[in-house]
Amino acid sequence: MGETLFLVADNLHGLNPVVQDALRRLDPRPVRQLVASCERQGAQLIDVNPGYLSRAQEDRMTFLVESVQESTSLGLILDSPNPRILARGLASCRGKAIISALSLEERKIREILPLAVEHGAGLVILLMDERSMTPPRTEEKVALSLELRDRALAAGVNGDDLIFDPVLPNLSWDDAFLRVAEDVKTIRLLAGGAVFQEPVRTMAGLSNLRSGQRKRYPFDLEAACMGLLAGAGLEFLLADVFQPGFGEAYRTLASML
């Protein structure tokens, strides 16, 4: 695990004005163009996140998945807290998808795990408790990984399909740098095989770090964190592939692995 750092484009989301307009007009062309641009930037997977959708708009996930698949054969991560929206996306996928994400919230345990089993999908496990909170310390994150893996395996999910995400903080949090250090330690333990006696797959959402804070914090902090995570054995990096400086930093780092 971690010999290759796979890049997941975090650009196809409901807050992106391009995506908002495409969803409003049900026009697939902007989605296709966006995905093609992500692929040119080196993305190997596309995170499909429609954002909040009312019950009447849940078919928008189908529209997004179909639009993406018309322009690329890259793997898809279907990203929504709503199991009904995830089900829509899974029903439209041509190949094996990855679901994002499971946490210890009871509704997600009850409704997302059966979807992963039914569709043979990969499953991102966010190391978050039943209140959707992520603990700061490595020991607590490891405990969550053990419990969530047990719940997933008991439901019938293949262990090789699990991907663990320690959940990076926003840099505006008072203890952000402590949390980043603990997340790097967590990735190293998971990817190195210390937790489950074998390496497991890991993911980190780099975009969390400066979300809403890009004027306050420079990209250099993201680049430094990316290097630490890659060195710890990270396998999947979820990031905004268009931000200035990212492409060069990612390509340099990937060439060293």
User: Does the pLDDT at position 1 exceed 90?
Assistant: no
Q: Which long-range contacts (CB under 8 A, 24 or more apart) does 180-185 make?
A: 180/209, 180/225, 180/228, 182/136, 182/137, 182/138, 182/141, 183/141, 183/229, 184/228, 184/229, 184/232, 185/138, 185/232
Q: What is the CATH number of the domain that holds 225?
A: 3.20.20.20
Decide if 10 is inside a domain: no
Mean pLDDT of 251-257: 90
d(CA 157, CA 174): 37
DSSP class per residue in 100-122: EEE-S-HHHHHHHHHHHHHHT-E
Work out how many domains the chain is built from and give that number. 1
Query: What pLDDT does residue 4 have?
Result: 85
Decide if 59 is inside a domain: no
Decide if 45 is inside a domain: no
Decide if 246 is inside a domain: yes
Instruction: Give me the half-sphere count of Cα atoms (radius 13 Å) on the Cβ side of residue 153.
Output: 9
Query: What pLDDT does residue 190 have?
Result: 98
Query: Which residues constitute the domain of residue 157?
Result: 82-256
pLDDT tens track for 73-91: 999 999 999 999 999 999 9
pLDDT tens track for 110-145: 999 999 999 999 999 999 999 999 999 999 999 999
Mean pLDDT of 31-58: 96
Decide if 208 is inside a domain: yes
**Phi, psi dihedrals of residue 235, rounded to the nearest 5°:** -105, -40
Decide if 227 is inside a domain: yes
User: What percent of the chain is predicted at pLDDT more than 90?
Assistant: 97
Decide if 108 is inside a domain: yes
pTM comes to 0.96
DSSP class per residue in 160-212: GGEEEE--PPPTTSTTHHHHHHHHHHHHHHHHHTTTTSS--EEEEEGGGTTTT
Query: What pLDDT does residue 11 have?
Result: 97
pLDDT tens track for 166-209: 999 999 999 999 999 999 999 999 999 999 999 999 999 999 99
Decide if 140 is inside a domain: yes
**Residues contacting 122, CB < 8 A, separation 6+:** 96, 97, 98, 99, 116, 161, 162, 163
